[in-house]
Amino acid sequence: MQTPRASASAPQTPASAYYKNCDAARAAGAAPIHIGEPGYRPELDRNKDGVACE
């Protein structure tokens, strides 16, 4: 039985991320950040709709 391997060309998403603010998230290309995605924090979600740094 073979074990599955990750493709070398597949983009890697960090298991966790921290952005000081939305400017930092945008600079990293992570914005907007949806609830459940790495880097989402309620402090970045101004209108509390589940999407930070809109």
* Tens of pLDDT, residue by residue, the chain (54 residues): 665 555 454 445 556 899 999 999 999 999 999 999 999 999 999 999 999 999
Model pTM above 0.75: no
Q: If you count them, how many residues does the chain have? A: 54
Helix, coil or strand: residue 51 = strand
Residues 6+ apart with CB under 8 A from 42: 48, 52
What is residue 16's predicted lDDT score, i.e. its pLDDT? 87
The candidate with the shortest Cα–Cα distance to 31, out of 15, 43, 40, is 40
* Residue 22, CA distances (Å) to 2, 3, 47, 50 in order: 43, 39, 14, 14
17: amino acid identity, one letter: A
